[in-house]
Chains A and B, each alone.
Chain A
Amino acid sequence: MSVEPEVPIVQVEEVRENPVLYKIISSDNHVFTISEHAVKLSKTLWDLITNLGLTAENALDNPIPVENVNGKNMETIVQFCERHKYDEEEPEYTNYIREFVLPEWDRQLLSIDNEELFQLILATNYLDIQKLMDYCCRVIGDMAKDKTPEELRIIYGIPTDAEDDALERSASDSPGPSG
């Protein structure tokens, strides 16, 4: 696997304790290095690393292309994973409403506009990072606090029944691919 020479290399955090580093290339060709502990938070990436047989010796020579995630989201994800790589494993959520305090650092990290947050969730979903998904969903859930249905329609972009009906009518009226 080769990397284009002009590609910027983003070193998100100095890795002190764990010598094993992996390289990830985002869809827009940004290269990120990430430590082994951090990359393990992404089930997708870790499965890929395991399946590719990457080791401490050959990891940096074999960057992993992630075509569904752009550099901006990847940077956030790498920052998040490096920040939380030594967190204690949390108990599996079972039946009850997920109650936890969203740490201030993470709240700041996720203080991005709605479209960026949406794209970050799609990336998180693809990379299967449970903790980041929980935090993002907590931020979205918090938007509903003390809101009426009318306000929620605006916040979450939910069309009214009349708008949905009109959309459905116009979709069924429009000619198909054959014209």
Chain B
Amino acid sequence: MPDSPSFPFLRLPFLAIQNTVHHMSCTEITELSMCSRRSKSIVRSVRCPELFYIRIYLNQKNMSIYVMNRDHVQCSFWTVAMIKRGEKDPSKYRVDTIGGVDVRVAKIQEWGFRIEANENPEKPLKLVVDHLKEVFKLPLKVVLLPDKINDFLRFIPIFPVCKTLLLNGGEAITKEELEYIKIMLLLSIYLTVRFQ
């Protein structure tokens, strides 16, 4: 295409915006939603019916968020890189504003993102989950393996409302902790505690 000024995307009729968004991958839609509050609001108004739920997987070594389609296939994922102070992750980070907060984000594959976190991964995780929930209007399904996660209860506010929560490794949870989780969460389907 010849060189020309920007394409006036926001001036398109809504049906054309919707049609264009339907040609984009989940990753591209996410990138578009992060351009500004206005772009986020426009993307929110477009239905993306092929996307079905957000899966959050938290264990000691892997903290990830997946946007899943109706066939239970990942359309995009976010993972947390735990960077210790003084260390440097080789990924090429950029700074995106998510929920009004600057977050360091690296694109790691065509459909994946890595967010940099220091000692508080729950903070950027919550920002990303809230953003994805708002943009795609999807329910959350959470798998939490609390064993060896330092103070795992701090992750509970990431998903105050979720469709399902599977606590895998129930022996790592005290009765009081379980009560706290039940009080904190609004579950639309079920809470499963699995003992290994």
Contact = CB atoms under 8 A, between A and B. Distances in A.
B31 A152 contact: yes
Nearest to B5: A114
A125 B15 contact: yes
Contact of B10 (A95, A137, A157): A157
Nearest to A117: B7
Given A140-B20, A159-B36, A114 B31 contact: no
Interface string B1-24: 111111111111101100111111
B158 interface: no
B48 to A, nearest CB: 8
B9 A150 contact: no
B188 to A, nearest CB: 22
Nearest to A162: B36
B49 interface: yes
B31 A138 contact: no
B35 interface: yes
A159 B35 CA distance: 8
Contacts of A113: 1-4
Contact of A125 (B13, B97, B110): B13
Give the contact-size bracket for chain A.
35 or more
Contacts of A157: 5-10
Contacts of A114: 1, 4-8
B78 to A, nearest CB: 15
A97 B22 contact: yes
B9 A140 contact: yes
B192 interface: no
A154 B6 contact: yes
B22 A144 contact: no
A72 interface: no
Interface of B: 1-13, 15-16, 19-25, 28, 31-32, 34-39, 49-50, 70, 94, 96-97, 107, 110
Interface of A: 93-98, 111-115, 117-118, 121-122, 125, 133-134, 136-138, 140-150, 152-161, 164
12 contacts: A98-B23, A114-B7, A114-B8, A115-B8, A136-B16, A149-B34, A149-B35, A150-B94, A156-B35, A157-B6, A158-B36, A159-B38
Closest 10 CB pairs of A and B: A157-B6, A141-B23, A156-B9, A113-B4, A137-B19, A114-B7, A95-B49, A137-B20, A149-B34, A114-B4
